[in-house]
Amino acid sequence: MTKFSDLALSPKVLKAVEAAGYHTPTPIQAGAIPPALEGRDVLGIAQTGTGKTASFTLPMIHLLARGRARARMPRSLVLCPTRELAAQVAENFDTYAANVKLTKALLIGGVSFKEQDALIDRGVDVLIATPGRLLDHFERGKLLLTGVQIMVVDEADRMLDMGFIPDIERIFSLTPFTRQTMFYSATMAPEIERITNMFLSNPARIEVARQATASETIAQEVVLLKPSRRDRSAGEKRAALRALIDREGAACTNAIVFCNRKTDVDIVAKSLKTHGYDAAPIHGDLEQSQRTRTLDFFRDGSLRFLVASDVAARGLDIPAVSHVFNFDVPTHSEDYVHRIGRTGRAGRDGKAVMLSTPADEKNLAAIERLIGTTIPRSDSPLSTTPAEEPTEEERPKRTRVRRGGRSGGREKEADAPVVKAAEPAPVAVEDVAEAEAIQQDEPRVERRDEPREPRRDEERDDNRGRNRNRERDNGPKVVGMGDHLPSFIAMSFDERKAG
């Protein structure tokens, strides 16, 4: 069996690895570290939770141990799709570079530019960043990438999903052509394949597992829900989630609940907390300090349930997660592999439960095609309709009563019996005659008691009378000059005409 001591790593790196409690490398580490130490490009494909981060941090520390960084010119660059993953990579560097004098900087959003600029100005050996914040520093003239010797793209398929591919291509164009490049991902989409062919030179391809496969230590289950009504679907799913948590009992020491939308993350977290479960949300719209604090609480066991969007589905290393609940079936089938990969890590047993409604059948079928297996089904844990939702028989029948008067015809719902409509009032004989006259194009007979409206021809006669009065006061009307012409100008025209 291969050991870390067999991988030609420096003694200082090996000492840090042993201090961290590791002795035997994972398959991706045993396959990727030797070619990386030789300076070759690496394309690593492995399922999540297999130690991909150490497979590039260890050779980077070994290669960067010699040399010194210059101001604003980092010697290596690691790109990550999310802030949490970038922070985790930075922690790995701190652990494995404990005996090597290397400087690093973490460029992520939610942190002051001033603090990050101060680190870059002193010079860093390792720069860990998200693409957006990295380009922000470059465009402000605070960073040069011409000194990058090693470049790593972590979770490359997630970069594609988040729309970072144009930024990645631009960042590659700013780095030297002679750099060493390493790509790591759990899946390999065609677009990622195109970029690897463009920017990697004869890479060593290490594929330790079939693409998009789930760990064998994870027990998977799909719970089929059939909402009683469409408007009750969300409430019944939350009730089913609580019932599943109660069903697992003490075996569910902690869990991550994944939702597709950020708004649902907040709603589910609030619902769990209202019903007495220790839960907190995490998604991209929260402040970075709050996201970091929530993750720290979940890691140290102070928080039992973490309700998250896919921001927590990639790369986060929280070893002791017992359960993963998919409140929503992911729309991208690859996300399912990453979500359930948060449990069953480092050889531990884990369980992944997914709630599925009839509307999710298409996405569920795509997931099963991707992982190449059929996920076991189970029925809903709810025997009856949730208590907080009244049944149709319990709902009072409502009728709509239209208000009259000046309320503009507003309608009001009221718990009132249905009233039979009143018979229409009899129509006067003179109104019938008037209607028949209109249909026969006969002149309308006006009643004496209704106000008389002037006709259009009468309005024109009134206007003509006003014009004649104006001509008498100001002289004859000047054609083409308009009725607003001042009288002294009209008089001058009249005098010229008289002369």
- What's the pLDDT tens digit per position in 1-58? 588 989 999 999 999 999 988 889 989 999 999 999 999 999 998 776 678 899 999 9
Give every CB contact of residue 107 below 8 A, 6+ residues apart in sequence. Answer: 86, 116, 127, 128, 129, 130, 133, 134, 137
What is the mean pLDDT of the segment spanning 262-278?
Answer: 95
Nearest to 78 by CA among 18, 21, 133, 142: 133
Instruction: Tell me the pLDDT tens digit for each residue of 90-117.
Output: 999 999 999 999 999 999 988 889 989 9
Contact, 107 vs 140, CB < 8 A? no
Q: Would you state the pLDDT for residue 212?
A: 59
Tokens of 488: 């002294």
Query: For the packed helices 52-64 and 11-19, what is the interaxial angle rounded to 10 degrees?
Result: 140
pLDDT number for residue 80: 92
Residue 200 has pLDDT above 70, yes or no: yes
Q: pLDDT tens-digit profile of 363-384?
A: 999 999 988 889 999 988 885 4
Per DSSP, 189 falls in state -
Q: Name the pLDDT band for 471 (thresholds 50, 70, 90).
A: low
Note the CATH number of domain 218-379: 3.40.50.300
Which of the pair, 346 or 485, is modelled with greater confidence?
346
- E strand residue ranges, 46-168: 76-79, 104-107, 126-129, 150-154
pLDDT of residue 435: 42
What per-residue confidence (pLDDT) applies to 305? 96
What does pTM read for this prediction?
0.62
Whole-number Å distance between alpha carbons of 385 and 228: 8
Both tokens of 403, joined, read 């208000």
Residues of the chain with CATH 3.40.50.300: 4-207, 218-379
pLDDT band at 82 (very low <50, low <70, confident <90, very high): confident
Mean pLDDT of 203-210: 83
Lowest pLDDT segment from 246-255, 264-273, 380-389: 380-389
Quick one: pLDDT at residue 96? Answer: 94
Average pLDDT over the chain, rounded to an integer: 80
pLDDT of residue 61: 95
Residue 462 confidence (pLDDT) above 90:
no
* Between residues 467 and 344, the one the model is more confident about: 344
pLDDT band of residue 470 (cuts 50, 70, 90) is low
Composition of the chain by helix, strand, coil, percent to 5: 40, 15, 45
pLDDT of residue 84: 83
Element (H, E) at 195: helix 190-199
Helix-helix angle 131-139:113-122, to 10 degrees: 70
The reported pLDDT for the residue numbered 390 is 41
Q: What is the dihedral of CA 347, 348, 351, 352, to 10 degrees?
A: -50
pLDDT-based confidence at residue 211 (cuts at 50, 70, 90): low
**For 43-70, how does the pLDDT look when each residue is reduced to its tens digit (9 = 90+)?**
998 776 678 899 999 999 999 998 888 8
Lowest mean pLDDT among 110-114, 205-209, 310-314, 417-421: 417-421
Report the share of the chain in percent with pLDDT over 90. Answer: 46
Query: Which residues touch 215 (CB under 8 Å, ≥6 apart)?
Result: 47, 49, 341, 344, 345, 350
Query: How does pLDDT run across 278-313, given as a tens digit for each residue?
Result: 999 998 788 878 888 998 899 899 999 999 988 766
Calculate mean pLDDT across residues 391-401: 43
Is 325 in contact with 381 (CB distance < 8 Å)? no
| pLDDT value of position 60 | 95
- Quick one: fold of 4-207? Rossmann fold (3.40.50)
Per-residue model confidence as pLDDT tens digits over 226-252: 988 888 889 999 999 999 999 999 999
Mean pLDDT, to the nearest integer, of 72-77? 94
Q: Which stretches within 360-455 are classed as H helix?
A: 361-371, 429-439
Q: Is the pLDDT of residue 475 over 70?
A: no
